[in-house]
């Protein structure tokens, strides 16, 4: 995107104004990383608390809105799925900020005004500053950044307020985190002897004989391998950390489709057919699309042949001026395409310009100045010198006002500017007015010409008719009326030959329900309902949902019933291992083990210490460990309970392969670097787990 466009869309200059304003006061540091009075955790209705600090609802929502705005500015559609991700993202960020702030205070970490000045104007400035203020040699021009800040300090108070509460605190938070992670990472050290031992272990190779008795040799129906709820509960009690759960609920539900029918689709197509004569006759395609509620607005631009990637593109390109093709299907819409015009257009344009801004100058002053510049250039004045002295576009003035644009950027430019450079000819020189001010433009070169087309698209979505929606709504309401409790719900499902569906693990703050769609209203109802309670119909996307709460799980450890699908196979195999181990008994040789279990002795001669995989067996790390156990060279191992069965191993020999000239010091440094890179993530995760977090968002959101 060009600087011309980004001045408006991203308000980049305003960022720099705020930095200057913030530097003067430097009060935001206290507001952002101060002690218990920190702004993000104060007063009002709360949505929870983190380590005893209450989280204000308004502040939480403000952060959500800021994050959503960033997503939108990056081109992401703000649907319910992304909105839920944003809410969770902001919540997790606040937890991290809270636990890290406590660590910063304990360690005495801070960012001084002098240090912040270095962040902004030193050798490694933020990427947006560097991009905006890079000179023609590719170097960051800190003086130009300071000058631009001073000259624009009064331009946009609202943006000043926004960035003073976002941009600068984010820079300081990043620097504090860098310091914290740096302190942690320096505590990691790998001695040379450890690196040497690791390299030696990685190159060890074992040859073994073994007996493998698969779990499949014991029938699942055998009484001694049945897994009871008590077995599962015992396992959960011994591994509580692995089976923690958030509060969650499950529902059974029935869905009634309100999707468009074939009749609805035909009606939309016929409605476009009826408009076709007027669409052909109109001389104002943009107005026609607005008057007839087109889903796609008129784009006053030409599209290169190679870029015209729409259904039926070949037929559309062959239309005469004024010709209409369609209606045809394009995704979920019916569309008619009208050819407005054709021309040859370049794929790439190099130009230069001088901008006199109407945002910092009165219109009459800007017009008079650009006319004077045009006259001076016509009289032989140096374009580069005039651009450097007068242009209000800091992104190009140091480069003589030059830009190179591809055709994909044509739509990101101010329309008047885009038409001047893409529709004109090489050598054109003209004054053009845009929303930013007056530009003196010269087209330096144009490359890769090809046919381009301007097309108007009259588009209407295929949507359900009122009759279709009412039929679905009526069926859903009738079902809900018959199903006032769990028993009646099941009876109505059977009577009406409906499909009873299940959605599980619905958490209090969820927006999206798997298999159902996004509906915060439905989740609120689920949070408040009792087991067996049946809802009224909820309209979600193109259907109506009637739900019944089938399960309520409190925060804590999962129940045996819920854990059974995860644990039953594991515990059954453990019991099978006991049965197999009894068969092996006290057998002293591999041949005796094979005879007792009706198997054969097998060989594996390339077992690597570095790999848990054994050829002919699979992923069996315990077998690999036994292969390098010196005790197993003199006699067979004890029964080894593995992933796929029970194993007995005898090691024939252990050797080493060449290490390929591995440099021990480089290996040691690489291991240390990897550990240090993970230190920040691991420490934050540990702090998060130890934090006392009370999430009460579901009561308000």
Cα angle vertex 486, ends 484, 490, to 5°?
100
Mean pLDDT of the chain: 88
Mean pLDDT in residue range 270-278:
97
DSSP-derived secondary structure letter, 323: -
Name, of 29-43, 135-149, 581-595, 662-676, the range with top average pLDDT.
581-595
Q: How many CB atoms lie within 10 A of CB 53?
A: 20
DSSP-derived secondary structure letter, 5: H
Which tokens belong to 478? 């009738």
Mean pLDDT in residue range 104-128:
90
Per-residue pLDDT at 226: 96
Mean pLDDT in residue range 509-524:
93
Question: Phi and psi at residue 19, in whole multiples of 5°?
Answer: -55, -45
Kindly indicate the confidence band of residue 158, based on its pLDDT and cuts at 50, 70 and 90: low
User: Please, which residues have CB within 8 angstroms of residue 701's CB and are 6 or more apart in sequence?
Assistant: 47, 87, 509, 520
**Cβ contact 204:654 at 8 Å:** yes
Mean pLDDT in residue range 475-504:
96
Kindly indicate the confidence band of residue 2, based on its pLDDT and cuts at 50, 70 and 90: very low
pLDDT of 622 higher than 90: yes
Show me where the domains of the chain are located. 3-185, 204-244+560-656, 248-259+465-554, 260-463
**Cβ contact 531:540 at 8 Å:** no
Only one residue has tokens 């809270």, namely 98
**Which CATH number is 260-463's, of 3.40.50.360, 3.40.640.10, 3.10.50.40, 3.30.1490.190?**
3.10.50.40
Per-residue pLDDT at 360: 84
User: Please, which residues have CB within 8 angstroms of residue 302's CB and are 6 or more apart in sequence?
Assistant: 341, 343, 345, 422, 423, 452, 453, 454
Residue 515 C-alpha from the chain's centroid = 21
What pTM was computed for the model?
A: 0.69
List the single range of 68-72, 318-322, 543-547 with lowest mean pLDDT: 68-72
Mean pLDDT in residue range 560-579:
96
More confident residue, 679 or 210: 210
At the topology level of CATH, where does 3-185 sit? Triger factor/SurA peptide-binding fold (1.10.4030)
pLDDT of 20 higher than 70: no
Residue 81's Cβ-side half-sphere holds a number of Cα atoms within 13 Å equal to 8
pLDDT of 341 higher than 90: yes
Per-residue pLDDT at 154: 60
Mean pLDDT in residue range 623-650:
96
List the single range of 249-263, 296-310, 490-504 with lowest mean pLDDT: 296-310
Q: How many CB atoms lie within 10 A of CB 45?
A: 13
Which tokens belong to 589? 């040789």
Q: Which is nearest to 664 in space by CA: 311, 198, 306, 256?
A: 198
Q: Which is nearest to 87 in space by CA: 42, 47, 37, 33?
A: 47
Mean pLDDT in residue range 209-232:
96
pLDDT of 331 higher than 80: yes
Helix (H, G, I), strand (E, B) or coil at 447: strand
Per-residue pLDDT at 161: 66
Kindly indicate the confidence band of residue 466, based on its pLDDT and cuts at 50, 70 and 90: very high
Per-residue pLDDT at 76: 82
């Amino acid at each position: 995107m060009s600087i011309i466009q980004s001045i408006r869309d991203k308000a980049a200059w305003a960022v720099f104004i705020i930095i200057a304003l913030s530097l003067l006061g430097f009060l935001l540091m206290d507001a952002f990383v101060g002690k218990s009075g920190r702004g993000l955790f104060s007063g009002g209705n709360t949505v929870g608390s983190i380590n005893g600090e209450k989280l204000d609802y308004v502040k939480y929502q403000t952060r959500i809105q800021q994050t959503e705005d960033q997503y939108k500015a990056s081109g992401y559609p703000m649907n319910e799925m992304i909105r839920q991700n944003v809410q969770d993202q902001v919540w997790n960020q606040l937890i991290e900020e809270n636990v890290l702030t406590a660590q910063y205070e304990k360690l005495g970490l801070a960012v001084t005004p002098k240090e912040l000045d270095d962040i902004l104007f030193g050798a490694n400035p933020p990427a947006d500053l560097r991009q905006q203020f890079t000179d023609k040699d590719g170097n960051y021009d800190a003086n130009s950044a300071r000058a631009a800040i001073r000259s624009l300090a009064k331009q946009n108070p609202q943006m000043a307020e926004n960035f003073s509460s976002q941009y600068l605190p984010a820079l300081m938070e990043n620097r504090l985190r860098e310091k914290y992670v740096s302190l942690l990472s320096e505590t990691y050290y790998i001695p040379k002897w450890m690196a040497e031992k690791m390299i030696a272990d990685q190159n060890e190779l074992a040859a073994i004989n073994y007996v493998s008795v698969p779990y499949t040799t014991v029938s699942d129906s055998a009484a001694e391998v049945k897994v009871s709820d008590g077995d599962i509960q015992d396992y959960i009690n011994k591994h509580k950390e692995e089976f923690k759960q958030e509060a969650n609920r499950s529902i059974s539900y029935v869905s009634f489709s309100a999707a468009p029918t074939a009749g609805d689709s035909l009606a939309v197509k016929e409605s476009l057919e009826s408009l076709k004569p007027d669409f052909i006759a109109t001389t104002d395609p943009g107005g026609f699309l607005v008057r007839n509620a087109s889903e796609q607005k008129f784009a006053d631009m030409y599209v290169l042949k190679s870029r015209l990637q729409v259904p039926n593109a070949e037929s559309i390109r062959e239309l005469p001026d004024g010709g209409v093709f369609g209606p045809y299907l394009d995704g979920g819409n019916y569309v008619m395409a009208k050819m407005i015009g054709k021309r040859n257009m370049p794929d790439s344009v190099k130009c230069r310009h001088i901008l006199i801004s109407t945002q910092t100058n009165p219109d009459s002053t800007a017009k008079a100045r650009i006319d004077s510049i045009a006259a001076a250039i016509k009289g032989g004045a140096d374009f580069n010198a005039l651009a450097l002295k007068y242009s209000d576009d800091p992104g190009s003035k140091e480069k003589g006002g030059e830009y190179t644009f591809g055709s994909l950027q044509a739509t990101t430019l101010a329309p008047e500017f885009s038409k001047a450079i893409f529709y004109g000819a090489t050598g054109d020189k003209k004054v053009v007015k845009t929303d930013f001010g007056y530009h003196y433009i010269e087209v330096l070169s144009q490359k890769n010409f090809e046919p381009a087309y301007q097309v108007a698209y009259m588009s209407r979505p295929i949507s359900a008719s009122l009759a279709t929606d009412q039929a679905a709504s009526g069926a859903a309401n009738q079902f809900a009326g018959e199903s006032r409790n769990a028993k009646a719900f099941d009876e109505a499902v059977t009577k009406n030959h409906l499909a009873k569906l299940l959605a599980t693990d619905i958490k209090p703050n969820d927006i999206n329900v798997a298999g159902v769609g996004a509906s915060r209203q439905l989740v609120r109802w689920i949070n408040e309902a009792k087991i067996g309670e049946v809802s009224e119909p909820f309209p979600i996307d193109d259907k109506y949902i009637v739900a019944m709460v089938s399960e309520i799980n409190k925060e804590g450890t999962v129940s045996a019933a819920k854990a059974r699908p995860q644990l039953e196979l594991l515990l059954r195999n453990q019991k099978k291992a006991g049965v197999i181990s009894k068969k092996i008994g006290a057998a002293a040789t591999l041949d005796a083990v094979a005879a007792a279990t009706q198997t054969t002795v097998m060989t594996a001669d390339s077992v690597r210490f570095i790999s848990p995989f054994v050829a002919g067996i699979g992923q069996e790390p315990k077998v690999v460990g036994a292969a390098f156990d010196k005790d197993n060279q003199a006699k067979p191992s004890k029964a080894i309970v593995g992933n796929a069965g029970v194993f007995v191993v005898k090691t024939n020999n252990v050797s080493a392969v060449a290490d390929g000239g591995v440099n021990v010091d480089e290996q040691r440094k690489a291991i240390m670097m990897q550990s240090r890179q993970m230190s920040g993530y691991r420490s934050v995760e540990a702090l998060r787990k130890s934090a006392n977090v009370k999430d009460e968002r579901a009561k308000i959101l």
